[in-house]
Amino acid sequence: MAAEKVNHVKYETSVNSETEKAIRDRLFDGFNNWNGGYDGWLTWCNTLYEPDAHYNIPGPKGLVPLTLQQYKDAMGKLFEHYTMELGNFENMIIRDNWCAIRYTVTIRNIETGKAFTQNTMEFVQFKENPEPIGVRVVEGWALSDVALTDF
């Protein structure tokens, strides 16, 4: 069964510039590619992220900065054990080349079938590139209310 298309923001600020519109579009495209499974997400990484992008995720001793390759590898390991379907956006604030988003993720353990909902917030900085590349992530910070290690 194909995942539903992510196409809604419950609470969002107005988008005023072409850069802000491009970021909004890139976020929707990114979420919908994520929901296509790991292979779709991995291919999308080349469009969504700058080659030298960093993503900061929670670790046992605070935030851990990952290179793009480390982030891809970490997500590959998670996709081996879990399905992760991103829901619609709860909040989206975009100003200049920054955004803050809040969304839900339905996570299911492939082995046990047990599922739970994770609430996630991200702060992301984008870089504007000439077309056809467009806006891409330079660095992001992500926090969730439930860690996969707790599940």
77-115 pLDDT tens trace: 989 999 888 888 999 999 999 999 999 999 999 999 999
Question: Where does 15-150 sit in CATH, by number?
Answer: 3.10.450.50
pTM of the complete model: 0.88
pLDDT of residue 150: 53
Residues contacting residue 57 through CB under 8 Å, at least 6 positions apart: 63, 64, 66, 71, 74, 142
pLDDT of residue 1: 43
Q: Are strands 62-67 and 49-59 parallel, antiparallel or unpaired?
A: antiparallel
The pLDDT tens digits of the residues spanning 24-65 come to: 999 988 888 777 778 878 888 888 999 999 999 888 888 899
pLDDT of residue 149: 58
Cβ contact 102:10 at 8 Å: no
Cβ contact 78:38 at 8 Å: no
Q: What span, in angstroms and rounded, lies between the C-alpha atoms of 148 and 151?
A: 5
Closest CA to 20 of 97, 92, 103, 88: 97
Largest CA distance in the chain: 46
Task: Give the CA distances from residue 149 to residues 3, 56, 82, 101, in Å, rounded to whole numbers and listed in that order.
Answer: 24, 17, 12, 23
Tokens of 47: 């469009």
Domain boundaries, the chain: 15-150
Average pLDDT rounded to a whole number, residues 65-69: 95
Helix (H, G, I), strand (E, B) or coil at 70: helix
Identity of residue 40: G
